[in-house]
Structure 1
Amino acid sequence: MTESRDTGAAGAVAPPRAGALRALLALALLVPAASLGTAIGLVWGPGTPLGKALFFAGKAWLVMFPAVWWLRVERGRPSLSPPRLGGFRVAALLGVLQSAVVLGVYGLAGGSLVDAGRVQAMVERAGLGDWRVYLAGALYWIAVNSVLEEYVWRWFVFRQCEALAGARAGVALAAGLFTVHHIVALQVYFSWPVTVLGAAGVFAGGVVWSWCYARYRSVWPGWLSHAIVDVAVFAVGAVIIFG
Structure 2
Amino acid sequence: MKKVLLLLGPTLMIFIGLTLFANVPLTFGLFYGWLLLVPSIVNMKQPGLFKWRINFTKHSVILGTVSGLLFMILIFASVSYLFSFLIDLEFIRALLKKWNFDGGMVWLLIAVLIVLNPFLEENYWRNFIPEELKSSFSSGKSILIASFFYSFYHILSLIELFNWPFNVIAVLPVFLAGAIWGFIRQRTGSLAAPVLSHMLADAGIMLVYLVHIHVW
TM range, normalised to the smaller chain? 0.7 to 0.9
2: CA distance, partners of 1:100 / 1:63: 29
**How has the CA–CA distance of structure 1 residues 39 and 78 changed in structure 2, closer, same or farther, with 3 Å as cutoff?**
closer
Structure 1 SS opposite 2:22: coil
Task: Please give the per-residue CA displacement for 1:34-56, whole angstroms capped at 9, x wherever unaligned.
Answer: 21221122223436xxxx5x884
**How has the CA–CA distance of structure 1 residues 112 and 192 changed in structure 2, closer, same or farther, with 3 Å as cutoff?**
closer
Question: What code does the residue aligned with 1:174 have?
Answer: A
2: CA distance, partners of 1:123 / 1:84: 36
* Alpha carbons 1:186, 1:198 under 8 Å: kept: yes
Gaps of 5+ in 1: 1-24
Structure 2 SS opposite 1:67: helix
Q: Which of residues 65, 72, 83 is equivalent to 2:38?
A: 65
Q: Map residues 72-221 of structure 1 onto 2, 5 A cutoff.
A: 72-73=45-46, 75-76=47-48, 79-83=51-55, 86-130=59-103, 132-221=104-193
**How has the CA–CA distance of structure 1 residues 27 and 116 changed in structure 2, closer, same or farther, with 3 Å as cutoff?**
farther
* Alpha carbons 2:18, 2:99 under 8 Å: kept: no
Q: Percent identity?
A: 21
Task: Please give the per-residue CA displacement for 1:45-80, whole angstroms capped at 9, x wherever unaligned.
Answer: 436xxxx5x88445423321112112313x217855
2: CA distance, partners of 1:195 / 1:81: 34
* Alpha carbons 1:30, 1:61 under 8 Å: kept: no
Question: What code does the residue aligned with 1:60 have?
Answer: G
- Pair 1:39-2:9 in alignment: no
TM value normalised by structure 2? 0.85
- Runs of 4+ in structure 1 off by over 6 angstroms are none
Higher relative contact order (CA 8 A, sep 6+): 2
1: CA distance, partners of 2:114 / 2:28: 20
- The structure that has the greater radius of gyration is 1
225-234 vs 161-170, which moves further: 161-170
Task: Please give the per-residue CA displacement for 1:107-164, whole angstroms capped at 9, x wherever unaligned.
Answer: 321222211112111221233323x533332122111121111111111123334443
Structure 2 SS opposite 1:164: coil
Gaps of 5+ in 2: none
* Alpha carbons 1:141, 1:230 under 8 Å: kept: yes
Structure 1 SS opposite 2:153: helix
Question: What code does the residue aligned with 1:107 have?
Answer: S
Question: What code does the residue aligned with 2:170 have?
Answer: G
Count of aligned pairs: 212
**How has the CA–CA distance of structure 1 residues 195 and 138 changed in structure 2, closer, same or farther, with 3 Å as cutoff?**
same
2: CA distance, partners of 1:169 / 1:103: 30
* Alpha carbons 2:52, 2:127 under 8 Å: kept: no
Question: What code does the residue aligned with 1:234 have?
Answer: M
179-188 vs 206-215, which moves further: 179-188
35-44 vs 171-180, which moves further: 35-44
**How has the CA–CA distance of structure 1 residues 79 and 155 changed in structure 2, closer, same or farther, with 3 Å as cutoff?**
closer
TM value normalised by structure 1? 0.77
87-96 vs 27-36, which moves further: 27-36
The residue aligned with 1:235 is 207
